[in-house]
Structure 1
Amino acid sequence: MSFVNNFKCGRKIILNFEPYNIEFSEFINPGKGKAFVRLKLRRLLTGTLINKTFKASEHLKSADIIKKKFIYLYNDNKMWIFMDDENFNQIYIKKSIIGNNYKWLIPQDICEILLWNNNPINIILKNFVKLKVIKTENVIKGDSVSSFSKFATLSTGVIIKVPLFIKIGDIIKIDTRSETYISRDR
Structure 2
Amino acid sequence: MKISGVDIRPGNIIEYEGGLWKAVKIQHTQPGKGGAYMQVELKNLIDGRKNNVRFRSAETVEKVRLDTRDYQFLFADDEMLTFMDKENYEQISLSKDMLGDAAAFLQDGMDVMLELYEEKPISVQLPDHVEAEIVEADAVVKGQTASSSYKPAILDNGVRVMVPPHISAGTRIIVDVYAQEYVKKAD
Structure 2 length-normalised TM:
0.82
Displacement of 1:29 in angstroms is 5.2
Residue type matched to 1:76 in 2?
D
Residue 161 of structure 2 corresponds to residue 151 of structure 1: no
Match of 1:116 in 2: 117
Q: Deviation at 1:107?
A: 1.5
Q: Is the 8 A contact 2:102 2:178 kept in 1?
A: no
Instruction: Indicate the residue corresponding to 1:171 in structure 2.
Output: 172
Greater Cα offset, 91-100 or 155-164: 155-164
Report the Cα distance in structure 1 between the residues aligned to 2:49 and 2:173, rounded to whole angstroms: 31
Aligned residues: 183
- Report the residue type matching 1:145 in the other structure: G
2:135 alignment partner, SS class: strand
Identify if the C-alpha distance between structure 1 residues 33 and 125 changes in structure 2 by more than 3 Å, giving closer, same or farther: same
Over the matched positions of the two proteins, sequence identity in percent amounts to 24
Q: C-alpha separation between the residues in 2 aligned to 1:92 and 1:37?
A: 38
Q: Aligned partners of 1:19, 1:123: CA distance in 2, in Å?
A: 15
- Cα-Cα RMSD: 2.5
Unaligned runs of 5+ in 2: none
Maintained 8 Å contact 1:106/1:156 = no
Q: Which residue of 1 aligns with 2:51?
A: 50
Contact persistence 1:70–1:110 (CA under 8 A): yes
TM-score, reference length from structure 1: 0.82
Distance 1:144-1:17 versus aligned 2 partners, 3 A rule? farther
Is the CA contact (8 Å cut-off) linking 1:64 and 1:117 kept in structure 2? Answer: no
Superposed displacement of residue 121, structure 1: 2.1
